[in-house]
Amino acid sequence: MSERPSRPADRSDDEPPPVDADYYAIDTDASEAEFLAACKLYAREVVDTFDLSVDVGALDWDISRRAKRRAGQVRYRDGDPETVVLTWGYFERRGWAAMASTVRHELIHVHLLNEYGDGSHGERFERWAERLDTGVACELFTTPEWWVVCEDCDAALARYRESKLVRRVDEYRCGECAGDLRLADGDARAAAGDE
């Protein structure tokens, strides 16, 4: 870890200072224990800085080595957050800065579940995402097996499993324009630069 930077003295009380994610940065050759430790330490500072209603220590923190479509997830029961799951493959492919953004994203979910029972990506989430400088959706980090592509508007949906939509693409219509759909191989679409 690098030396902790000093906080700017000229910030207003309404505007929290940015959290220096680089201070907690680890390389992708870190162990799972080191990875989770860095994520939790970083999460504690984000929670303290932005006064989020999140008890980092009360949450379980876990790693997924199987997830291909999401960088992280909050598992909850009856509206109560229980576990933050972070995707190892996303960290390996995108690095610490992207994972730090994912930690902020998941902390927003926990906060909104605690405050409002809302785990969605709605307007509250969008406002918090802007405030914490994180995205609302995860960028692709693995090549999907298939793409379902609209013939009319070129909308594309990544698919990683052979779902009913993949098996029966001709029975469905585009959700954007009601156009006909076709199936494209994931590798072919990636080679065309559409990923």
CATH 3.30.2010.10 fits 21-131, yes or no: yes
pLDDT at 26: 95
pTM recorded for the entire structure: 0.70
pLDDT at 13: 55
Pairing of strands 80-87, 60-64: parallel
Count the neighbouring beta carbons within 10 Å of the beta carbon of residue 66: 8
Mean pLDDT in consecutive groups of 10 residues from the start of the chain, 195 residues? 41 67 94 97 96 96 88 91 94 93 96 93 94 82 80 84 88 90 71 43
Give how far Cα 88 sits from Cα of 25, 60, 183, Å. Answer: 15, 16, 29
Domain limits, CATH 3.30.2010.10, in the chain: 21-131
Q: Which residues contact 10 (CB under 8 A, 6 or more apart)?
A: none
3-state secondary structure of 87: strand
